Every structure is written in structure tokens, then in C-alpha cells.
Amino acid sequence: MVDAADIRLGVLGSGKGTNFAALADACMAGRVPARIALVLSDVAGAGILDLAAGRGIPSMHIPPGRFRTRLEESAEAAYVEALRAAGVEWVVLAGFMRILKGVFLRAFPGRVVNIHPSLLPSFPGLESWKQALEYGVKVTGVTVHLVDEGMDTGPIVAQAAVPVREDDTPATLHARIQAVEHTLYPEALTALLEGRARWVARRGPVLATGSSGS
């Protein structure tokens, strides 16, 4: 059994922060065996920072540097320093819209998790729900995965399907995807923290049912 007080999470986000809020609530309710020690954003004034402040969770904007799609190396170092100072062991990306590279990933090896609004490897990148609608798929969904240096790549931990309706707009489809995200992320994260998601050769980590000892 994992002691909830022992695992400290750092959450990174660039936007509204609804996934952060769902995780924070799940931690508070004891459904995720951890607590959120720090929230960081590359976007000044992002909703996620306000939501963190409203919950009394330390939060900070750290400028990303001069690149558009990733953090500058010195910015990565600043993120790592802030997370380490807060005692963070696992990093949870919740709508963080920049790619993380070596400096960051080496600081938290195998301990950076992301949620993406599609069934990867379909529709990586931005506004995946729009990509899904434009392509005409009948089913899309949500993926939780460990983060490597690629864009929305890395071993898949959990996925859930979301049917696309005839009358869906980007907004209605994204809303249904987000509702699924808010339950899948706490569940998948808990499986990782409790050691129930483990590496299976060639297939990435799979969620094992039953005890972690088998």
C-alpha cells in the first residue's frame, strides 16, 4: 500500500486546468494516493494557475524561453529546480502544450505522465478532437501515456474510447472527451503510482488487474 502523504506530484499546464482540478479533487478524496505539491505553467495568467491558487496549492508561471513548441534548455532547468525544491517525484502534464526534452526527462526518468485527447497514435498534436472530426472517424478517445522526447509518443498506460456523433461540433466532442479524461487520468495515474501499470515487453506498460505482486 502506498502512503498518500508520501508521493508528491507536480502538475504542468498551459490552459484552463480542468484535468488539474479533477486530479486535485481525486487526491483530496483519497482516490489518488498522492498530493499535488506544485503547479507550473508556461502561460502567464493561465486558468490552471487560478484554479491552483483557489485550492491553496503553490503555483508559478515560469517563462518558456524563445521557442514556440518546446522549453528552452534554461527554462527546462528552471522547471526542474522548482519541482525538486517542492520535493516532486512524479510530473503530471495536464494540457501542457510544449514538448519536454532531455534536461527535464532525465530529471524524472519514467515519471512524467501525459493525457492526450485522442486514441494515440492517431491525431497527435494540437486540437486532436478537430482532427478526428475532420478525418471522419467514428470513434476517438483519450490516451494516458508516459512521456518521451517525441510529441504525444511514449508507452501507453490507458485508453478510453469516445464515440463521435453525427451532429458533433468541435466543442461538443471536446466536452465529451474531457469528461472521460477527468475519470481516466486519476485512475491511470493511481495504477502507475501503485505499481499496477508495468512494462510488458514490446507492448508498453499495461494495466494489470489484481495485486501488484503477481
Which residue, 134, 150, 132, 151, is CA-closest to 142?
132
Beta bridge partners of 10: 38, 91
Q: Does 64 bind ligand GAR (CB under 6 A)?
A: no
139-146/112-116 β-pairing: antiparallel
**Residue numbers 111-170 binding ligand GAR by CB under 6 A:** 115-117, 128, 152
Task: Out of 11, 12, 19, 64, name the contact with ligand GAR by CB under 6 A.
Answer: 19
| Residue sitting closest to ligand GAR (CB) | 95
Residue 76 or 84 with smaller CB distance to ligand GAR:
76
Considering only the stretches 10-18, 65-73, 130-138, 194-202, report the one whose residues sit in contact with ligand GAR under the rule CB under 6 A. 10-18
Q: Does 42 bind ligand GAR (CB under 6 A)?
A: no
Q: Does 186 bind ligand GAR (CB under 6 A)?
A: no
Considering only the stretches 15-23, 72-80, 81-89, 154-162, report the one whose residues sit in contact with ligand GAR under the rule CB under 6 A. 15-23
Task: Out of 7, 9, 10, 13, name the contact with ligand GAR by CB under 6 A.
Answer: 13
Q: Does 16 bind ligand GAR (CB under 6 A)?
A: yes
For 92-142, give the DSSP string: EESS--SB--HHHHHHSTT-EEEEESSSTTSS-SS-HHHHHHHHT-SEEEE
Task: Out of 41, 59, 159, 178, name the contact with ligand GAR by CB under 6 A.
Answer: 178
Catalytic residue set: 116
Q: 128 burial class (0-12, 13-18, 19+ CB within 10 angstroms)?
A: buried
Contacts to ligand GAR by CB under 6 A: 13, 15-19, 48, 94-95, 115-117, 128, 152, 178, 181
